[in-house]
Amino acid sequence: RVLAEELGPGWRGRVAAFAPSPFAAASLGQVHGATLPDGTALAVKIQYPGVARSIRSDVQNLLALLRLTKALPRGLFADNALRVLQQELEWECDYRREAECARTFRRLLRDDPFFVVPRVVPELSAGRVLTMELGMGIPLDRCRELRQELRDELGAQLLRLCLRELLEFRFMQTDPNWANYLYDAGKHRVTLLDFGASRSFPREFTDHYIEVVRAAADGDREKVLQKSRDLKFLTGFESKAQESAHAAAALALGEAFASPDPFDFGARSCGSRFQPLLPPLLRGRLAPPPDPAYSLHRKLAGTFLACVRLRARIRCRQLLEDAYARYRERAGAEREHPEPNGDDREHPE
């Protein structure tokens, strides 16, 4: 029914074959196999009926329940977190937007030696249907028993992509689900899937954020605090205890980037150092994080967790230095030759 409503009653004539039973589940729907008349294999994502209509009321009901039960500490700023979550869920319901995001990533990564994005099939896509060429490979959770060198490279490539998205593209697919990465051992590449949670980042945000990361990697506590104020993570009126907790959390997360030697994600975990800092962080927080930080931190945490599960050993410092040098070079060029329409890039929102 959804296919007929979205694509028209003649949709079946556009494919040579269509599998009535799904072969995979999506976050808001299910995925069916199909074949074009020329033999191209397809993945057709179909949204469950009524999903989009229910999201707003569900999020509002959840927020009301949390307020009533006081289940979350004040410093978590649940209103802001759920507002951002609602926006992202509404984006994920809009398959036209996701198709545009997929096309954007396909363009941005067209020369990448390791990552590929399947082609969107526009004649079989609409608001609740998204059809793309079928990606081949195994999800990352099945790569944990590969030999160490391959796991190291997979982890390094994931981290490299994350830095490119943040600093080069300022446009990121923020859902780190393992099923969104398919490793093709035969071609030694990873196919990227699911672009519904993609978002852009303002240059002002990335300018300050990369300096926080660099300061954390250098162990520079005072610069971490100053750049966090510039970024609006801190107001400047926090207690000494809150500043100490914030700086300690940043330095814990920057540990992977601190040394030029390979960081062994299988032997150490930032999470074990970060978890005890959560209570003082939440108790003393005076302002919510900037909106882009919610989705960015989900992606960063997911990427780090993938490296942990892969037990990867990665020269993270070198990846950061390379990304930082390219970022500063591009920022200087953009200041000398600004775009006519300002900083806004041609990314979907």
pTM of this prediction exceeds 0.85 = yes
As beta bridge partners, residue 314 has 263
* Helix 316-336 / helix 203-218 crossing angle, nearest 10 deg: 140
Task: Exactly one of 175, 194, 207, 261 is catalytic; name it.
Answer: 175
Q: Which two tokens stand for residue 76?
A: 């978590």
DSSP structure string for 154-197: HHHHHHHHHHIIIIIISEEE----GGGEEEETTTTEEEE---TT
Reported as a single tens digit per residue, the pLDDT across 206-259 is: 999 999 999 999 999 999 999 999 999 999 998 898 899 899 989 988 999 999
Q: Which two tokens stand for residue 240?
A: 């000494």
- Look-up of token digits 């599998």: 19
Reported as a single tens digit per residue, the pLDDT across 110-146 is: 999 999 999 999 999 999 999 999 999 999 999 999 9
Q: Which two tokens stand for residue 75?
A: 């410093």
Reported as a single tens digit per residue, the pLDDT across 39-75 is: 999 999 999 988 877 776 676 677 666 666 555 556 5
Q: Which of the 8 DSSP states describes residue 236?
A: S
In whole angstroms, how far apart are CA 12 and each of 1, 39, 123? Answer: 12, 15, 12
Give the angle 178-252-279 at the CA atoms, nearest 5°.
90
Which region among 1-10, 149-158, 287-296, 328-337 has the lowest average model confidence (pLDDT)?
328-337
**Residue 175: active-site member:** yes
Side chain identity at residue 53, one-letter code: R
Buried/exposed code over 204-227 (b: 16+ C-beta within 10 A; e: otherwise): ebbbbbbbbbbbbbeebbebbbbb
